[in-house]
Amino acid sequence: MAVVVRLFAAAREAVGASEVSVAAGSVVQVCDELESLVPAERRPRVAAVLALSSLLSGGVRYRAADHAVIPDGSVVDVLPPFAGG
């Protein structure tokens, strides 16, 4: 059981990949899995980026603290806030 997580901008930089596969579960569990992919010293940065990001899956917007379940086989896009004009 897994979901594909696509990471953009600061999320991609923090995790060090543009796409990863993690265990399916709640949004919180998916975020915990993402944090576990990086060395311990980088986990606070990943957590900070996730806390500010929108997570999109199946046309629904989630926050990192949500307990909604992301079904097996889903794609989750992690979109940090973007700057610019």
Binned at pLDDT 50, 70 and 90, residue 83 comes out as low
d(CA 30, CA 40): 17
Q: Which residues contact 10 (CB under 8 A, 6 or more apart)?
A: 49, 80
pLDDT in tens, 24-44: 999 999 999 999 999 999 999
Query: How many domains does the chain contain in total?
Result: 1
Q: Is residue 84 part of a domain?
A: no
pTM of the entire predicted model? 0.92
Mean pLDDT of the residues in the chain:
94
pLDDT in tens, 51-64: 999 999 999 999 99
CATH of the domain at 45: 3.10.20.30
Q: Is residue 30 part of a domain?
A: yes
Task: For residue 69, list its beta bridge partners.
Answer: 26
